[in-house]
Amino acid sequence: MNATEVVAKAVAPPVVFRLLVLQVSMDATGGTYTCTVGIKQGDKDLQTDAAPSRNSVVAICKAIGRVTGFDGKLLRYHANSVGECLDEFEALVVVAGKDGGQVSAQARSVDILVALGTAYLAAINKICSGECYIG
């Protein structure tokens, strides 16, 4: 293994779950968001589920939690416009595991909700792989 492989391995946590589908809709009264996710774990079949909430980000986290079995908590999140034309979003999330430890993760997408969902799932991947966990 050369130095580049060592650095790459140290920087990139293992991917336990991959987000393939994320769709958020709002009911006609504007009171409830529903998030549907499709997540793949390794070579297993795509798993889908949906969750409602009065907040779109909470709906995303609930739906992801239902598929992954993660019962931690989103502590805080932040999203910025980035890129040359501010046409991309970068999301940072901080997640707590059920034992109280915290993990942060970030992701980028042209869609702010996809960036948040991807960052949330990246934090779950860190927790599942045992990396970067602050207990």
Tens digit of each residue's pLDDT (9 = 90 or more) over 32-55: 999 999 999 988 999 999 999 999
- Distance in angstroms (rounded) separating the CA atoms of residues 24 and 87: 20
The ranges assigned to domains in the chain are: 3-129
pLDDT at 22: 97
| Domain 3-129: CATH class, spelled out | alpha beta
The pTM assigned to this predicted structure is 0.83
pLDDT at 30: 80
Name 92's Cβ contacts closer than 8 Å, sequence gap at least 6: 77, 78, 79, 104, 105, 106, 119
Q: What is the pLDDT of residues 63-73, one digit of tens each?
A: 999 999 998 89
Residue numbers in the chain where pLDDT is lower than 50: 1-10, 132-135
